[in-house]
Structure 1
Amino acid sequence: MNIRERIEKNEELYLCKFAAKSSQTKGRLKPEEKDDIRTDYMRDRDRVIHSKSFRRLKHKTQVFFSPLGDHYRTRMTHTLEVSQVARTIAVALSLNETLTEAISLAHDLGHTPFGHAGEAVLNKKTNGKFKHWFQSLRVVDVLEKDGQGLNLTYEVRDGIVKHSKGRGDILLDKKNSANTLEGQIVRIADIIAYVNHDIDDAQRAKIIDKIPNRLSNVLGDTHSKRITTMVKSVIKQTKESNYEQILIESDILECLNELRDFLFENVYMSGAIQSEISKSSKVISDLFDYFLEHIDLIPQYGSTKEESVADYISGMTDRYAMDLYYKIFIPKSWAIT
């Protein structure tokens, strides 16, 4: 018995019957030989961490564009916070922590520069065909490794494409949810992480002072207390449902929805954020039009020119997009040499 087989045997012994076991994966798009040391989900996690797309997350917007302060979240730190919340829930429920981590780390690989503002522009430019969760799947299936993709397992890919919610329902019916409980964990861990860290960042930016008293009375009056309340609620309700799906208590869900609405109204749609959205949207729009006219300058992995341009721009970091915009559209100062 090699190391991988021992780990798989331990999963069978110690994970609950509802967990996705590594040895029972539905496999990869392209079959591969098994590793002697790592399970398939361990390999997926490692491939994501070592990918270029993952490294670029450190310079992509979460809410505040290219923040100068060291403590504002980026897409990278958001991803790490999602992973930590999700892993805590997975361990408490005796589900597969490694699968949960792999999905968490990959869930936002397709996000654009300037966050959802960049996504909105690319969606418009491609006639409604660009969504960051589908782009994240496209990154791991096609774009990484110069068009080879990462060849991840079905379970990780399923969790990636079903993680997002926007302002839609936080909980989905079983038909539309991820096919693993681990994938469902990432969906709710995503919102638990972002509503809490966005409150923290908005307070740091002095956009809001505090959240409504009704919400803080139920959820807690600190970042840590709110996360603890939500995580415990997910664990409790999921267990009480006998793992029918990943759930959260109704009163906490109601507060979570109210908290998200509060952030949309007071932070994401605030004048401070909206004024920067118009500027960043122009950067993305102009770059898109430029590369559509100069398509030979970029890699072409898409079935259309528009898809290839969207692929190229969505992979940019904030600062790369701004530097490129300056280089293409801003006249250089003349100097005699």
Structure 2
Amino acid sequence: MSERAPYASDPAQSRGRLHAASHSPTRSEFQRDRDRIIHSTAFRRLQYKTQVFLHHEGQHFRTRLTHTLEVSQMARSIARSLRLDEDLAEAVALAHDLGHTPFGHAGERVLNERMAAFGGFDHNMQAIRVVTRLENRYAEHDGLNLSWETLEGILKHNGPLVDRAGRARGRYATEGLPEGLDEIPASADLQPWTHASLEAQAAAIADDIAYDAHDIDDALRAGLLDLPDLVDVPLAGPIVREVLSRWPGLESSRQAHEVQRRLITRGIEDVVATSAAAIAAAAPRSADDVRLAGATLIRFSAPMAEAEQALKRFLFDNVYRSDTVMAPVRDSERMVADLFDHYVAAQDLPGRWGEAARAAASPAARARIVCDFIAGMTDPYASEQHARLFDAARRLG
């Protein structure tokens, strides 16, 4: 690896962990974070959580786990090109989806609705809850005891949550700030009004590139799209025309792969060139200068950003809202709603979850425990619990 840039995050200068940890002679602080995330239970569960297509619909569709691994690879590529800390970029990328529910955004929508009276549900904040509270494998503390920089990246990789006066920014200006923002256990204030490190910004934009390329690939596999459907779509269209012109008789799966890899390559190359220029213009001399830069520095060029948003709109209309996707989504929403309502009313959560719910000081605290329990479920486990609870009830009825 080339020498780290002065504005990159330096693991030797980390703001530390909430709980003191022994020195590692073989790993940096950010490498330790990466390893703790990979070995966590929440990370393994991503294998059985929906990305777009439900896990049982085909063995070759992305899951949250395969998507996460692809994002981490792209984040490292961007970080390497810009002389950032690859390990921090990877750690943030590996953790960025730990707060996602079973059944993808369907489960998230339901939990947000059911928790509306108790602060709602936000998957980024849920990821923070996972890595600071809900993982319970260590003898001396709850959570993974990650470094301040990794926690900051998980929380703010999509940008500041508030302005310096504490007013909500972006989508939070209309949706409200996530519950628990002022209660995050960390070694220092995560400063929700500042931007995150360049490494976290690299993970965020890698997520966008992965979504675009891989959701097209999965939609082609599912038969929701054919390559000719994309010839006039921004960003993808010129690449599709190039591939179809160069290899007109090639089997469709190979054509699709050529389109996918070109989308990824062009996205990353655009980001690296644009970001290098933005960093040079801002001239940060440290990672803290990046946080106070007042703008996201890892970004697409303006033409690429416009085309990328248009591609997302196309995918929303033609893939995410298609009957093939939405029919199981509606079933999934019903299952999550049924499970939430049952556990809140019956108060029969298993094991430590039941103990915590019985000891909860308020209905809001009990509802949050139910929310945590359901959010951590895999798709198969949620389906099994729904069948156990409701199929038996229907039989008895």
State if a TM-score over 0.5 links the two structures.
yes
Q: What's the counterpart of residue 145 of structure 1?
A: 136
SS where residue 304 of structure 1 aligns? Answer: helix
Q: Please give the per-residue CA displacement for 1:171-196, whole angstroms capped at 9, x wherever unaligned.
A: xxxx8664200011111101110111
- 1:67 Cα offset (Å): 3.1
- Aligned residue in 2 for 1:182: 199
Identical amino acids, percent of aligned pairs: 42
Asked if structure 1 preserves the Cα contact closer than 8 Å seen for 2:156 and 2:196, the reply is no
Following superposition, the deviation at residue 321 of structure 1 comes to 0.4
How many Å apart are 1:293 and its aligned residue?
A: 2.0
Q: Deviations over 1:26-60 (max 9, x none)?
A: 11122323222211111100000000000000000
Once residues 223 and 124 of structure 1 are traced to their aligned partners in structure 2, the CA distance between those partners, rounded to angstroms, is 35
Residue among 216, 240, 252 paired with 2:236: 216
* Shift, 1:292, TM fit: 0.9
Counterpart code for 1:153 = S
Amino acid at match of 2:370: V
Q: Distance in 2 between matches of 1:164 and 1:23?
A: 25
2:366 counterpart of 1:288? no
Alignment gaps of 5+ in structure 2: 160-169, 172-191, 244-258, 283-296
- Deviation, 1:272, is 1.6
- 3-state SS of 1:238 partner: helix
C-alpha separation between the residues in 1 aligned to 2:146 and 2:327? 39
Q: Where does residue 63 of structure 2 map in the other structure?
A: 74
Q: 1:254 to 1:62 in 2, by over 3 A?
A: same
The aligned amino acid for 1:200 is: D
Find the counterpart in structure 1 of residue 216 from structure 2: 199
**Is the contact between residue 292 and residue 306 of structure 1 (CA under 8 Å) also seen in structure 2?**
yes
Q: Residues 242 and 215 (structure 1 numbering): CA distance in 2 closer, same or farther, change over 3 Å?
A: closer
Q: Does 1:330 align with 2:330?
A: no
Aligned to 1:230: 267
1:296–1:260: structure 2 CA closer, same or farther, 3 Å change rule?
Answer: same
Shift of 1:269: 1.1
Distance 1:317 1:178 in 2: 32
Partner of 2:349: 297
- Determine the structure 1 residue equivalent to 2:83: 94
Return closer, same or farther for 1:120/1:164 CA change in 2, 3 Å cut-off: farther
Query: Would the alpha carbon gap of residues 189 and 324 (structure 1) be closer, same or farther in structure 2, given more than 3 Å must change?
Result: same
The aligned residue for residue 260 of structure 1 is 312
Q: 1:309 aligns with which of 348, 351, 370?
A: 370
Single out whichever of 287-296 and 132-141 deviates more from structure 2: 287-296
Aligned to 1:330, what secondary structure does the other structure show? helix
Query: Does 2:194 match 1:157?
Result: no
TM-score (norm 1): 0.88
Q: Which residue of 2 aligns with 1:30?
A: 19
- Please tell me the residue identity of whatever aligns with 1:290: H
